[in-house]
Amino acid sequence: MTVPGSSAARPLAGARGQVDPQFLARLTGILFIVTFITSIPPAFLFYAPVLSDPAYITGAGTGTGLAWGALFEIVLIIANIGTAVALFPVLKRQNEALALGYVTARLMECTFIAVGILSLLAIGTLRLNAGGAGTDALVVVGKALVAVHDWTFRLGPGVVVGLGNGLILGYLMYRSRLVPRSLALLGLIGGPLILVSGAAVVLGAIEGLSVWQAIATIPEFFWELGLGIWLTVKGFNPAALADLLADTAPAPSR
């Protein structure tokens, strides 16, 4: 229950001062939108030549698309971690263990993304500096590095996202009512679908990036996009935030 005089804008105490939770909400929303802006161009534009052409590694030129794709994904990693760090001071008041679990899941997702970046940058390096190697050998190495990238995508965004952004974040937002429960339900639906489709890909039941996997990602896609837009425009639900802060406020000293 909300105590008299409580406020949705009540600051969160920190080691070096206080932070407005609504500022954290809008920061989180902006960062979620940044994740969309930075994740789509690498997959469909910058990385397309190397992912679609097995002989790319034997070509000439610097391959600036790889560098731009890597830069976009580095910003993606920063934004991903930022969403977890910005939400943690608020979400831990609902369930600290799960809030920490969300941060951990985001870090694991970013680890997979980073490995994928390194695998493609290695192709760019070999394209420039492996002139003495045989063409057939280079193609084999290039295919192997692309396969590493593909599996980092299938296990990071294809599995870990379902646990972190889907189930954990969806549950915390649903229980806290910081955003509309109808919106949070998309995460609770999308998370299991991501996990099931990702497991099906790992087991070979369906192809990675198949139509079935694309369909399974739809609720999660709209959950993350809707959350980003909602938090940027609306912030946290003021009444739910006031209740959350009141329930976790320290008892007054006597």
In a domain, residue 205? The reply is: yes
- Range 213-220 contact pairs with CB under 8 angstroms and sequence separation of 24 or more: 213/158, 217/190, 217/193, 218/190, 219/186, 219/187, 219/189, 219/190, 219/193, 220/161, 220/162, 220/165, 220/166, 220/186, 220/187, 220/190, 220/191, 220/193, 220/194
Who wins on pLDDT, 247 or 122? 122
Q: What's the pTM value of the predicted model, to 2 decimals?
A: 0.87
What would the pLDDT profile of 95-124 be if each residue is shown by its tens digit?
999 999 999 999 999 999 999 999 999 999
| Residue 249 covered by a domain | no
Domain tally, the chain: 1
Which DSSP state fits 207?
-
Asked if pLDDT for residue 17 goes beyond 70, the answer is: no
Q: Inform me whether the pLDDT recorded for 83 exceeds 80.
A: yes
Q: What is the pLDDT of residue 166?
A: 96
Residue 12 lies in a domain: no
> Would 10 be classed as within a structural domain?
no
- What residue numbers bound the domain in which 138 lies? 19-241
* Chain mean position to CA 94: 21
Above 60 in pLDDT, residue 7? no
Is there a domain that residue 13 lies in?
Answer: no
Residue 253 lies in a domain: no
pLDDT at 13: 53
Query: Does residue 3 lie in a domain region?
Result: no
